């Protein structure tokens, strides 16, 4: 490659690469590129070809391969768009199609490389002779996620980024065939709505058919500290009517697995002689086939699929000379702390050919304190209070907000789009129309002001509200109106966790970790350092020993080795030196393990005991 | 209670942990930004890198700096201070002359570059002296006004080393020969302090030779090289310098740390009469208990060594007692009650 480049530089000719391979040289790179492009526009070359001319290195890259992301632009020549009014007219009349435009060279696709050679205007008005292309619509500069956000040009950049990532966490209708699907985890909104204020891309992407959100009536005011620091107050009656309500679907799987030796799992109701039998009650929801009955209400650790496995080791031959088959219980049960109704049961075959049972459990998730909501402007909030509708402020028309947002959320974040969306949706709802909030081309504030004025309303969307408790009018006009809100994936009910007592790890006898294992919260090194810093040595001892892995071990006073208690002789003995001078000592089980590990290094750790001074 | 008594901490307080946390927490907020010193040695490490340097008690800081104050008789005039500064700055032969070897004739030719020599105030006699000092027994001929020739031959004491090898070695040695100034002082600039006094800020080390000069006020010389201060002025000077340097790092980042925490750190580092680093090779590596050391770093090394020497751990430290599962001997855990039998 270096050799080739040297050669090329010597001759002062332009190197040409096709799909990354050097194919030849040319005297006039710029001219060649121009001709290739012209031929592409006149259909002499395939329209999927892209050319990039690197003037500095004097190299041409022609790409014809698959996998390039390409975007269509209107071709511009001498400051004139090739999409002339005549063509537009024909297009509108249906005489021309998109394919026609490409064939005619009115529109061409650029890839990331060729884009570097172009100068693209956002609108026809700003065209100059230097321009090479024109963007079809200005909002096309946005990607899929950001182009469904309303009024991004009125928001600060970081908030747009946040709004995009939050839109991906919103709960709605993720697929229209959700009743047929067995996703491991899925959420469906009860009453999804399309936004009153939406963008062109929203409809182009068919998002109105799989919405993820609802139009909330939002008042912007503080409420007794319950919406401090990105908290939101919500209307209980609105929640009761189904606002923000979603259904959670979870799929559990059980497979009849094959074991070496031809043995197999069996899906059935385990009998009382099964090893690990959980008692009649645990299997009460199972049908005769060992699978739960659909529409039964399940909770906690109830069994969904009864299953028995062959024993792990070969059984001893019993007194009567027959091999007793003791089966092992290996049922599938609902995760601890979960609750729901059996939505659907499916029996199929696993890729391995084994019988496979899939069970879909549904549980409704009503919004509760701690759930997360967000508008489409990066304005997220956590519900801090559910207020009865009677106590909510109301307008003279009887409009009660669904959600109360704290005004402090607005100025420092500069999400003017949030306010503009509220205003626009308010005007739209008065008109009974869906309004346009597409970036750069959407309706303006003036449009909305005009509509509201015509209806005799406050032109800036502010209204007098009355306190729901005292009935007195609130001293200032409040900004209130409908705005599209999303319920985000982070539901407290899926995260809430506490432990006082619970399971411990097998090896260390220390508490387990993680919500799924009912675990404790780690009291780590730095936390320990803090307690030491306070001089609270009794607390340190309690956290690290009493509440963790305290054990009683026997220590031989002769040789310093760990001893044991002989149950048969009811005596303490040292298994190393045989001495009976053995005393019980409290220590952490972790230390006992450490002693064992040290011994495994061929080091003999002695414990020398002394009386406490 | 008077304020003095209030300021006394409780018996068995965990002063070390508190000091470590008080220094460590602001440390997480330190930026990697470096500040500029006027003139010499730009990019003197400050902030976290500098703090790490101090705490690791590196042999030499990345950018050693020396502040040299002159005796009042000299420090008044800037020109005089500048003169001294010029004399301190070390100049190597290669900076003023080309040193070339001629294998065929077995000679080394040193040709002075007049412009460079003039700019650095180096005379041909100084060069001659420097060459003679380096080659010792060999003949040095003055070929021209500014050209010297060293004839290399077999000399006593070199053993059976071939002449060409000696030639090669000597060429390198000559290039690095000090012609003028004090070895180790790389650059010296005159700076004015807050009170308008002129002093020399030099980059490099070797304050011992600087102090020996008459003009230098040896009571006010300072270097950020803690290890050098320790060797020349003793452990107390090093301790003070540590406190000063750490304080400066924290102040430069606008972080408020109680000086007593810094003093405790410096005390701990200097308690044995030598400057010890924090960490594996210093303080933590010399902890009393095996278990405590094993819990920190290089677990197996400590355990094996303890086994070989049949070491006993008397469980005096905090870590050891936590491992074993006993009440730690600090704060509440250290307080004991005794009852007098006669009452």
**Where residue B111 sits, what CATH number does that domain have?**
3.30.1360
- Nearest alpha carbon to residue A301 among A332, A270, A325: A332
- Give helix A525-534 / helix B15-28 axis angle, nearest 10°: 130
* Catalytic residue (choose from A65, A183, A230, A273): A230
pLDDT score of A557 more than 70:
yes
Q: Which residue has the tokens 């679907």?
A: A249
Cross-strand partners of B189: B201
d(Cα B269, Cα B248) in Å, to the nearest integer?
18
pLDDT score of B154 more than 70:
no
B314 touches chain A (CB under 8 A): no
Pairs across A and B, CB distance < 8 A: 74
B151 and B95 together in one domain: yes
Q: How many CB atoms lie within 10 A of CB B325?
A: 22
pTM of the model: 0.76
A538 touches chain B (CB under 8 A): yes
Q: Which residue has the tokens 């009677």?
A: A390
A474 touches chain B (CB under 8 A): no
Q: How many CB atoms lie within 10 A of CB A450?
A: 13
Summarize the confidence of residues A471-480 as an average pLDDT.
Answer: 95
What pLDDT, on a 0 to 100 scale, did the predictor assign at position A190?
A: 96
pLDDT score of A146 more than 70:
yes
Q: Which range among A236-245, A590-599, B138-147 shows the weakest confidence by mean pLDDT?
A: B138-147
Q: A214-220 and A478-487 as β-strands: parallel, antiparallel, unpaired?
A: antiparallel
A546 near A576, Cβ under 8 Å?
A: no
Most confident region among A314-328, A367-381, B131-145, B232-246 by mean pLDDT: A367-381
CB contact under 8 A, B328 and A598: no
Can you give the CATH number for the domain in which B319 is found?
1.10.150.390
* Catalytic status, residue A65: no
Domains assigned to chain A: 2-141 (3.90.1070.20), 152-173+185-245+369-487 (2.40.270.10), 247-365 (2.40.50.150), 497-613 (3.90.1800.10)
Position with higher pLDDT, B173 vs A353: A353
- Angle, alpha carbons B178-B182-B184 (nearest 5°): 85
d(Cα A447, Cα A454) in Å, to the nearest integer?
11
B31 and B103 together in one domain: no
Position with higher pLDDT, A53 vs B179: A53
What pLDDT, on a 0 to 100 scale, did the predictor assign at position A551?
A: 93
What pLDDT, on a 0 to 100 scale, did the predictor assign at position B114?
A: 78
B95 and B85 together in one domain: no
A604 touches chain B (CB under 8 A): yes
What pLDDT, on a 0 to 100 scale, did the predictor assign at position A320?
A: 63
Summarize the confidence of residues A595-602 as an average pLDDT.
Answer: 90
pLDDT score of B98 more than 90:
no
Most confident region among A20-34, B100-114, B214-228 by mean pLDDT: A20-34
Indicate the residue of B17, B303, B312 with minimum beta-carbon distance to A529.
Answer: B17
Spatial neighbors of A261 by CB under 8 A, at least 6 apart, are A310
Most A-contacting residue of B20, B293, B328 (CB-CB within 10 A), to test interface: B328
- Nearest alpha carbon to residue A264 among A354, A181, A201: A354
B95 and B172 together in one domain: yes
Average pLDDT, chain A: 91
Q: Which range among A177-186, A559-568, B287-296 shows the weakest confidence by mean pLDDT?
A: B287-296
Burial of A385 (0-12, 13-18, 19+ CB in 10 A): middle
pLDDT score of A298 more than 90:
yes
Position with higher pLDDT, B216 vs A371: A371
Binning pLDDT at 50, 70 and 90, where does residue A315 land? Answer: low
Binning pLDDT at 50, 70 and 90, where does residue A317 land? Answer: low
What pLDDT, on a 0 to 100 scale, did the predictor assign at position B157?
A: 57
Q: How far apart are the CA of B239 and the nearest CA of chain A, in angstroms?
A: 25
pLDDT score of A601 more than 90:
no
pLDDT score of B196 more than 90:
no
B34 and B156 together in one domain: no
Q: Does a structural domain hold residue B51?
A: yes
Position with higher pLDDT, A255 vs B115: A255
Binning pLDDT at 50, 70 and 90, where does residue B166 land? Answer: confident
pLDDT score of B1 more than 90:
no
Summarize the confidence of residues B143-163 as an average pLDDT.
Answer: 70
Q: Does a structural domain hold residue B281?
A: no
- Give helix B226-233 / helix B235-252 axis angle, nearest 10°: 150
B176 and B187 together in one domain: no
Summarize the confidence of residues B270-276 as an average pLDDT.
Answer: 89
What pLDDT, on a 0 to 100 scale, did the predictor assign at position A67?
A: 93
Q: Which range among A42-46, A420-424, B151-155 shows the weakest confidence by mean pLDDT?
A: B151-155
Burial of A188 (0-12, 13-18, 19+ CB in 10 A): middle
Q: Any idea what DSSP says for residue B49?
A: H
Can you give the CATH number for the domain in which B83 is found?
3.30.70
Binning pLDDT at 50, 70 and 90, where does residue A153 land? Answer: very high
CB contact under 8 A, B304 and A533: no
Summarize the confidence of residues A483-492 as an average pLDDT.
Answer: 95
What pLDDT, on a 0 to 100 scale, did the predictor assign at position B316?
A: 87
Q: Does a structural domain hold residue B228?
A: no
Indicate the residue of B12, B324, B325 with minimum beta-carbon distance to A535.
Answer: B12
> What count of Cα atoms within 13 Å lies in the side-chain half-sphere of residue A259?
12
Summarize the confidence of residues A97-111 as an average pLDDT.
Answer: 93
B295 touches chain A (CB under 8 A): no
Count of positions (residues) in chain B: 343
CB contact under 8 A, B328 and A591: no
**Partners of residue A560 in chain B, C-beta under 8 Å:** none
Summarize the confidence of residues B140-158 as an average pLDDT.
Answer: 70
**Partners of residue A541 in chain B, C-beta under 8 Å:** 325-328, 333
Most A-contacting residue of B322, B333, B336 (CB-CB within 10 A), to test interface: B322
> Pick from B196, B223, B250: which residue ends a domain?
B223
Position with higher pLDDT, B34 vs B305: B305
Spatial neighbors of B89 by CB under 8 A, at least 6 apart, are B180, B181, B185, B186, B187, B188, B202
pLDDT score of A3 more than 70:
no
B331 touches chain A (CB under 8 A): yes
- Nearest alpha carbon to residue A16 among A2, A3, A32: A32
CB contact under 8 A, A535 and B325: no
B323 near B317, Cβ under 8 Å?
A: no
State the DSSP string of A403-437.
EEE-GGGSGGGTBHHHHHHHHHHHHHHHHTS-EE-
Q: How far apart are the CA of B189 and the nearest CA of chain A, in angstroms?
A: 45
Q: Does a structural domain hold residue B305?
A: yes
CB contact under 8 A, B322 and A540: yes
Binning pLDDT at 50, 70 and 90, where does residue A391 land? Answer: very high
Burial of A236 (0-12, 13-18, 19+ CB in 10 A): middle
CB contact under 8 A, B324 and A588: yes
Q: Does a structural domain hold residue B278?
A: no
d(Cα A321, Cα A311) in Å, to the nearest integer?
18
What pLDDT, on a 0 to 100 scale, did the predictor assign at position A324?
A: 59
Indicate the residue of A528, A533, A536 with minimum beta-carbon distance to B18.
Answer: A533
Position with higher pLDDT, B135 vs B336: B336
Count of positions (residues) in chain A: 613
B118 and B245 together in one domain: no
d(Cα A195, Cα A438) in Å, to the nearest integer?
13
B172 and B118 together in one domain: yes
pLDDT score of B77 more than 90:
no
Q: Does a structural domain hold residue B232?
A: no
Cα–Cα distances in angstroms (integers) from residue A22 to residues A9, A17, A51, A275, in the given order: 14, 4, 14, 71
Indicate the residue of A532, A586, A608 with minimum beta-carbon distance to B17.
Answer: A532
What pLDDT, on a 0 to 100 scale, did the predictor assign at position A249?
A: 96
B107 and B166 together in one domain: yes
Cα–Cα distances in angstroms (integers) from residue A387 to residues A78, A161, A384, B164, in the given order: 64, 32, 10, 97
Ramachandran angles phi, psi of A597, nearest 5°: -65, -40
Binning pLDDT at 50, 70 and 90, where does residue B249 land? Answer: confident
Task: Report ipTM (2 d.p.).
Answer: 0.76
What pLDDT, on a 0 to 100 scale, did the predictor assign at position B107?
A: 77
**Partners of residue B333 in chain A, C-beta under 8 Å:** 535, 537-538, 540-541
Q: How far apart are the CA of A409 and the nearest CA of chain B, in angstroms?
A: 27
- Nearest alpha carbon to residue B51 among B335, B326, B277: B277
B328 and B309 together in one domain: yes
What pLDDT, on a 0 to 100 scale, did the predictor assign at position A316?
A: 56
- Angle, alpha carbons A228-A233-A239 (nearest 5°): 160
Q: Determine what percent of chain A is predicted with pLDDT higher than 90.
A: 77
Cross-strand partners of B107: B102, B151
Indicate the residue of A537, A586, A594 with minimum beta-carbon distance to B328.
Answer: A537
Most B-contacting residue of A523, A533, A585 (CB-CB within 10 A), to test interface: A533
Q: How many domains does chain B have?
A: 4
Q: How many CB atoms lie within 10 A of CB B202?
A: 30
**Partners of residue B336 in chain A, C-beta under 8 Å:** 613
Q: Any idea what DSSP says for residue A511?
A: B
Q: Any idea what DSSP says for residue A455?
A: T
What pLDDT, on a 0 to 100 scale, did the predictor assign at position B43?
A: 64
Q: How far apart are the CA of B323 and the nearest CA of chain A, in angstroms?
A: 6
d(Cα A154, Cα A144) in Å, to the nearest integer?
18
d(Cα A206, Cα A165) in Å, to the nearest integer?
19
Binning pLDDT at 50, 70 and 90, where does residue A38 land? Answer: very high
B295 and B311 together in one domain: yes
Q: What is the 3-state secondary structure (H, E, C) of B105-171?
A: CCEEEEEECHHHHHHCCCCHHHHHHHHHHHHCCCEEEECCCCEEEEECCCCCCCCCCCHHHHHHHHH
B52 and B192 together in one domain: no
Binning pLDDT at 50, 70 and 90, where does residue B113 land? Answer: confident
Q: Does a structural domain hold residue B154?
A: yes
d(Cα A559, Cα A577) in Å, to the nearest integer?
7
Domain boundaries, position B191:
65-89+183-223
């Amino acid at each position: 490659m270096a050799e080739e480049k040297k050669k090329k530089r010597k001759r002062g000719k332009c190197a040409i690469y096709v799909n990354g391979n050097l194919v030849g040289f040319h005297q006039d790179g710029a001219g060649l590129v121009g001709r290739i492009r012209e031929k592409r526009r006149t259909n002499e070359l395939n329209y999927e070809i892209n050319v990039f001319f690197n003037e500095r290195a004097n190299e041409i890259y022609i790409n014809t391969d698959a996998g390039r992301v390409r975007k269509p632009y209107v071709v511009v020549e001498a400051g004139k768009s090739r999409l002339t009014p005549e063509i537009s007219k024909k297009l509108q009349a249906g005489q021309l199609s998109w394919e026609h435009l490409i064939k005619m060279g009115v529109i061409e696709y650029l890839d990331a490389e060729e884009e570097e050679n172009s100068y693209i205007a956002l609108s026809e008005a700003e065209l100059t002779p230097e321009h090479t292309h024109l963007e079809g619509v200005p909002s096309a500069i946005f990607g899929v996620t950001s182009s469904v956000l309303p009024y991004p040009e009125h928001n600060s950049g970081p908030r747009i980024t946040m709004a995009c990532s939050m839109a991906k966490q919103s709960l709605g209708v993720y697929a229209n065939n959700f009743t047929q699907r067995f996703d491991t985890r899925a959420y469906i909104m009860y009453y999804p709505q399309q936004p009153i204020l939406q963008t062109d891309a929203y409809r182009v992407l068919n998002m109105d058919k799989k919405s993820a959100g609802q139009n909330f009536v939002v008042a912007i005011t503080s409420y007794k500290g319950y919406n401090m620091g990105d908290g939101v107050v919500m209307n209980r009656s609105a929640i009761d009517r189904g606002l923000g309500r979603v259904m959670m679907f979870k799929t559990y799987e059980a497979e009849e697995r094959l074991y070496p030796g031809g043995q197999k799992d069996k899906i059935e109701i385990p009998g009382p002689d099964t090893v690990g039998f959980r008692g009649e009650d645990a299997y009460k929801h199972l049908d005769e086939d060992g699978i739960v009955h659909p529409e039964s209400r399940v909770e906690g650790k109830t069994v969904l699929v009864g299953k028995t496995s062959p024993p792990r080791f070969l059984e001893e031959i019993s007194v009567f000379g027959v091999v007793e088959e003791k089966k092992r219980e290996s049922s599938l049960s609902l995760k601890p702390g979960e609750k729901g109704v059996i939505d659907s049961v499916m029996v199929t075959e696993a890729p391995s050919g084994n019988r496979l049972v899939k069970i879909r459990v549904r549980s409704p998730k009503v919004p509760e304190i701690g759930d997360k909501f967000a508008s489409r402007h990066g304005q997220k909030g956590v519900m801090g209070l559910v207020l009865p509708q009677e106590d909510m402020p109301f307008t003279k028309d009887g409009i009660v907000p669904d959600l109360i947002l704290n005004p402090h959320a607005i100025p420092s974040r500069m999400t003017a789009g949030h306010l503009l969306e509220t205003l626009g949706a308010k005007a739209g709802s008065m008109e009974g129309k869906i309004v346009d909030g597409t970036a750069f081309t959407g309706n303006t504030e003036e449009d909305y002001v005009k509509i509201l004025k015509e209806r005799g309303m406050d032109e800036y969307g502010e209204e007098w509200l009355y306190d729901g408790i005292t009935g007195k009018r609130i001293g200032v006009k409040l900004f209130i109106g409908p705005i599209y809100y999303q319920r985000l994936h982070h539901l407290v009910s899926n995260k809430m966790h506490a432990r006082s007592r619970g399971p411990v790890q097998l090896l260390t006898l220390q508490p387990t970790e993680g919500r799924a294992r009912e675990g404790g919260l780690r009291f780590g090194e730095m936390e320990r350092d803090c307690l030491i810093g306070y001089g609270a040595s009794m607390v340190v001892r309690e956290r690290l020993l009493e509440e963790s892995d305290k054990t009683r071990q026997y220590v031989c006073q002769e040789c310093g080795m760990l001893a044991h208690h002989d149950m048969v002789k009811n005596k303490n003995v040292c298994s190393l030196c045989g001495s009976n001078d053995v005393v019980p000592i409290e220590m952490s089980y972790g230390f006992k393990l450490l002693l064992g590990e040290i011994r495994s290094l061929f080091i003999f750790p002695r414990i020398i005991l002394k009386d406490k001074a | 209670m008077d304020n003095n008594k209030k300021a006394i901490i409780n018996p068995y307080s965990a002063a070390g942990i508190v000091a470590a946390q008080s220094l460590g927490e602001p440390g997480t907020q330190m930026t990697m930004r470096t500040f500029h010193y006027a003139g010499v040695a730009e990019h003197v490490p400050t902030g976290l890198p500098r703090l790490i340097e101090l705490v690791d008690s590196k042999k030499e800081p990345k950018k050693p700096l020396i502040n040299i104050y002159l005796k009042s008789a000299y420090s008044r005039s800037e020109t005089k201070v500048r003169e001294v500064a010029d004399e301190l700055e070390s100049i190597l032969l290669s900076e003023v002359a080309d040193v070339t070897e001629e294998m065929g004739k077995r000679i080394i030719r040193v040709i002075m570059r007049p412009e460079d020599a003039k700019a650095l105030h180096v005379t041909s006699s100084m060069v001659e002296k420097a060459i003679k000092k380096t080659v010792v027994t060999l003949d040095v001929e003055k070929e021209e006004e500014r050209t010297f020739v060293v004839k290399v031959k077999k000399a006593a004491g070199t053993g059976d080393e071939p002449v060409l090898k000696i030639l090669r070695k000597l060429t390198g040695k000559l290039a690095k020969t000090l012609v003028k100034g004090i070895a180790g002082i790389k650059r010296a600039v005159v700076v004015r302090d807050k009170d308008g006094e002129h002093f020399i800020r030099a980059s490099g080390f070797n304050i011992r030779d600087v102090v020996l000069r008459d003009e230098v006020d040896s009571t006010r010389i300072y270097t950020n090289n803690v290890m050098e201060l320790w060797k020349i002025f003793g452990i107390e000077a090093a301790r003070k310098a540590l406190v000063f340097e750490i304080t400066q790092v924290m102040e430069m980042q606008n972080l408020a740390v109680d000086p007593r925490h810094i003093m405790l750190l410096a005390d701990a580092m200097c308690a044995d009469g030598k400057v010890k680093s924090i960490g594996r090779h210093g303080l933590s590596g010399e902890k009393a208990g095996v278990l405590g050391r094993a819990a920190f770093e290089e677990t197996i090394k400590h355990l094996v060594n303890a086994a070989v020497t049949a070491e006993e751990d008397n469980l005096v430290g905090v870590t050891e007692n936590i491992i074993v599962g006993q009440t730690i001997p600090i704060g509440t855990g250290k307080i004991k009650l005794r009852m007098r039998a006669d009452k």
